[in-house]
Structure 1
Amino acid sequence: MNILEALILLCVLIVISAFVSCSELALASARKIKLQVMAKDGDIRALDVLNMQQQPGSFITIVQIGLNAVAILAGIVGEAAVRPYFDSLLARFDPWGSTLASLLTFALVTGSFILIADLMPKRLAITHPEAVAVRIVRPMIFLIFLLKPFVWFFDGLANALFKILHISTVRQEQLTSEDIYAMVDAGAQAGVLKQQEHYLIENIFDMQERTVTSTMSTREYIAYFDKNDSSETVIEAMSDKPHSKFLVCDGDLERVIGYIESHTLLTLFLKEKHVRLTDKRVLRKCLFIPDTLSLYDVLETFKTSGEDFAVVINEYALVVGVVTLKDVMSIVMGELVNTEEEPQIMRRTEDTWLIDGATPLEDVMRALGIEAFPHSENYETIAGFMMYSLRKIPKRTDFLIYNGFKFEIIDTENLKIDQLLVSRHPMETEKSTR
């Protein structure tokens, strides 16, 4: 074999090795979700890639056979054809000429394979894994068919060893909520998702974690009527508290018999002077839900019942609040939902915030950049965090320091924390109270 034939053969071996290397990384790196989208758009080659990823034994066997066979052949060709050429060129440098010829042959063949057959194809495959994978999957399937006896032998032997060791070889690619969070964050950082889109997606996942108590109107803010209240009393209360819905009770809040809608009742008042709150034309049956439901469960309950208003009760069947569909959607939409209420978190300066005591922990964590609060399973609001950490009934000026922030109570109402002042604190102490 002359030097020209040897170089041509080496080039062929380099091309084969490049194809195998590129195939190996592309098929391993191709993302399942992207391939499913491509298959849905009509590229059936993506289905072949997905099938090969589920059972990668045959593919890996072909890769190893190809890489090892090509490496051995390249060494033989280099030693048999290229080395004698360098021997003749370096004959004058005896006794070191033969050693130099071997080193030059090794450097030439190995360097060519590293650069052209390994480095460049793998960089291409890892940059565009799905595009490369769908192009090489059919040739790879043909090679698997062509070398079926070798594939069957080596793959079967490997499977037997894995079975003896009780190791599963089936690729599992289950998508978790953490994976989706990571992808959404990456999309936001890359500019693919707008800030509002990122905010909405994050809030949708929060719905599964938050309970209804984090967004309901608590007991002390519930406006209700006694079933025997006069028309004048009802109209006066409606003018003072212009809600769209009011509970109707038999004496007290623990005996809810239904609710009325303001527009329906006022329409009847215009037609009739005296309308009883128990009139079936205005009184509607209440939807009762437990305070342990997540916001996602509440949304599903509203959907199945056809209601958009519910009374929240605790384990003792006591009314603890009311919640509307708008309350639930405000968690998802946030600032996109029009509301006349003041925001629960107001930033005063670069390093200080005014926070309502009823603000859910998730909103505080997002506003302050805090990853977690200690023992957060025991409370849901920032007021709950303060009470749990202080271990006493809170009063004004009580404070604690956590995660580089000072949380100070500046207003209370009926033993309830109404407002806090949060400021950055230079101390790194985990917690301090006064």
Structure 2
Amino acid sequence: MKFTLAYGKTGLEAVVPDANLVGPLEIRPAPPLADPRSAVAASLREPTGCPPLSELARGRRTACILICDITRPVPNELLLGELLPTLEAAGVPRDGITILIATGLHRPNEGDELIELVGPEIAANYRVENHFGKDLASHTDLGVSPRGVPIHIDSRYVDADLKIATGLIEPHLMAGYSGGRKLVCPGIAALETVRVWHGPQFLEHPNADCGILEGNPVHEENTWIARRAGCDFILNVTLDGDRRVTGVFAGEMEEAFHEGVAFARQVVTVPVDGPVDVAVTSAAGYPLDQNFYQSIKGLTGVLPVMKEGGTIIIAAEMTEGVGSPEFAGLFEEFPDPADFMTAITGADPTRPDFFVMDQWQLEEMAKVLRRCEVVYVTNHAPFADQLEKLYVTRAASVESAVAAALAKHGDDARIAVVPEGPYVLPTLEAVAG
């Protein structure tokens, strides 16, 4: 069967033998909204769990609106196009509004990328700024969370009279689902906060996984942190495979988020009738597959349905290479992922306080590597030669990788195909039921 993997901005066609195919595993049909702008406007007037935004904004002189960075395909121009006039009509002056890009610890979005993020009109007429997680002095100390996380949140948000978070609800490899509270932590948290909240004591918990909220310490803790920082209103959306809006969820931070999660879970959860030997997946295409760091989400997404010793084949363009210098340096320092895990869990007495920014993504990759081999496919030639240093093997094409996997696992191997990668949540049927 021929199918198209989400890859870069163009997609990548590939073929898998029909006799081996499980799937394709795709987002369930959810009709896109006929008039998403009207739906957003209506959600601001009739939100879940709180008064209309116009009432919340009345009498406020400053507002901070959090938006996702370029790695998330959020329709920011659509959302801000309704939020901003509502705030100004309620009396919040334009010069009192800050649109803060919740970069977390990612690089800033500037120039043409900023225009792509919010649209030319908003970029030209509103204050749009980046969060810088490494600059502790630009954060406010809000104490310590119940599990011992030091809370440092961007002061531009903390000091605002009205606090709003936008975003996208989709499966997330650590926090269960993105959206809601996640724009606050890690979105505008300092490195000192994220290094603890993303530490092994949280990420090694069995419930710190895709699609799980109940009993997930990552989710529970950043919800607590977002409450502590304050969040007056959220505006979240769900998207289909073509990035069209399928749902709008606005209002009180937790109620509206859980309403969105309930909708998303029905759409993204795809039951599989038993473990598979091979998965062919993607990193969801642009903007998520710009680097190796983000592509790891495609690996963790299929892990719940993989057999022990299975093969994951992932296609990702990765035009920006590995990721941050700190992340890339971990592969140089630790040729074996087992040695890396020994260091971050404190089992190496010579490195009792070992920490490197972005180590959490390699920790997630290590979970995959303990169970499966990983094969990457990319046509971005400048990066392809680096793959052999990243604990994975490379293949010239999906078809050649599939042929090698069949030689390893047998002619009757079950091959799951997940074209949209981490936007889909494959689940073993026994677990889903």
Please classify the TM superposition score into its range, dividing by the shorter chain length. Answer: under 0.3
TM-score after normalising by structure 2: 0.22
In terms of Rg, which structure is larger?
A: 1
Quick one: higher RCO (CA 8 Å, sep 6+), 1 or 2? 2
From the two aligned structures, give the one with the greater strand fraction: 2
Using the size of structure 1 for normalisation, the TM-score is 0.22
